[in-house]
Homo-oligomer: A and B are copies of this chain.
Amino acid sequence: MYCSVCGNATFSQIPPGDNRLRECCAHCGTVHYVNPRPVVGTIPVWGDQILLCKRAIEPRLGKWTLPAGFMETGESTGAGAVRETVEEAGARVILGPLFSMIDVPHVQQVHIFFRAELLDTEFSIGTESLDVRLFSERDVPWAEIAFRTVSTTLELFFADRARGEFGTYTRALEQAAAPVHLPRA
C-alpha cells in the first residue's frame, strides 16, 4: 500500500495508543484508518405497494433491490437515501422514519433504510437499474432479491404493516456459509 498524502510506501503497525494494525506512512506520519461505510436507502410506498429496482450493475445484476447506495460525504443519511431513490428509480418521495439498520460486518457496511411515501407514480428507470416496478406483497420476487439486508427489511416491513404499527429495527447479518453443492440424486 502507498500513502495517499505523499505517495510513499506504507507499512502495517499498531500506532502508539492504538490497539489495531493500521497502514502507516514513515515519510509523512499519516495513519490511514479504514472504517465501515454506510449504505442508505428507502422503502418507497404507494398504497399497498412498494417500489423495487432491478439492478443493472454488479454485484447482483438482474436482481431486485430497494433503492439504496453508499452515503456520500457532506450529506445526511436521510438526504442520501432520498438521493439514491431519485438516482436509481427516478422517484420522488417524502422521507419517513428510520426503519432498519442492519450490520454487514464481513463487507464493512451498515445498511440503513427509511420508510418513504411516493409522491406520485412518475418514477423512471435510473442508469443503475434495468427496471423499476411497484410490487404488492404477494408479488415480491423473494427468490430474486439482491441482498439479504433488503429481504430482511422487506420481511420486517410487511410484518409491521400487517400488525398496523411500525418500529425501528437493528440486525446484524452473519457471513453466509459457502453454498453446498449436493450431488444429484
Interface residues of chain A, those whose CB is within 8 Å of chain B, are 1-10, 17, 19-20, 23, 32-38, 70-79, 87, 97-98, 101, 103, 105-106, 108, 110, 112, 127-128, 168, 170, 172
Contacts and interface: CB of A to CB of B under 8 A. Distances in A.
A71 B36 contact: yes
A128 B6 CA distance: 29
6 contacts: A20-B72, A36-B38, A36-B73, A78-B172, A79-B105, A97-B170
Nearest to A70: B35
B5 A7 contact: no
A98 B101 contact: yes
Contact of A76 (B97, B98, B103, B128): B103
Nearest to A33: B70
A79 B106 CA distance: 13
A6 B2 contact: yes
A172 B76 contact: yes
A1 B28 CA distance: 13
Contacts of A110: 38, 71, 77
Nearest to A6: B2
B78 A108 contact: no
Nearest to A75: B105
Nearest to A127: B17
